[in-house]
Amino acid sequence: MRKSFDLYFASSNKNKYSEAKEILSKFKLNLGFFEFAPVEIQSNSILEIATKKSLDAYWSCKKPVIVEDDGLFIPALGGFPGPYSSYVFKTIGNAGILNLVKSKRNAEFHSVIAYCDGKKPVLFQGVIKGVISKKQKGNDWGYDPIFIPKGKTKTYAELDDKNTLSHRYITLGKFARWYKKSINN
């Protein structure tokens, strides 16, 4: 029997989908996965990138979708890698970021969720502040082994409760509250 989903998460990143599915289940939303590898536009704005990806994803599957774009922003590096986080991770990885960051280790993780049902996409944003660790800690994906959220002493990769405090959790929570309210009207 085919599962019924409230909406789909469009991405080529199954790790992001797994986190989103777990988070949205806490809001009683059933999230399906639409494997989708968008042509990402080059932009300095993760809002613009998420908007374009959501439109492309909707027109590919013709079902309500959400996409996420996020980035690690390091003020001491002029906001780098920011919207280029995925490319930077693939090319220099966490070791490269650790080599670039010296004494000023403040960082922010930004997340944008774009919802599209064929109309103008609706955007939600979340930010969590923190610092870049001095070395990689924990075994997880992306920048999780080097990002320590504010108020914590462990990296995302070391935390058992990452999905209750991350940038993605903040953004998906905003989306879920809006979505539940909008479908009940």
d(CA 146, CA 133): 5
Task: Give φ, ψ of 151 to 5 degrees.
Answer: 90, -5
Which among 76, 136, 73 is positioned nearest to 109, based on CA atoms?
A: 73
Do 132 and 108 meet the contact criterion of CB atoms below 8 Å apart? no
Give the tokens for residue 152: 């914590």
Alpha helix ranges (H) inside 62-154: 85-91, 93-100
Q: Any idea which residues carry the catalytic annotation?
A: 69
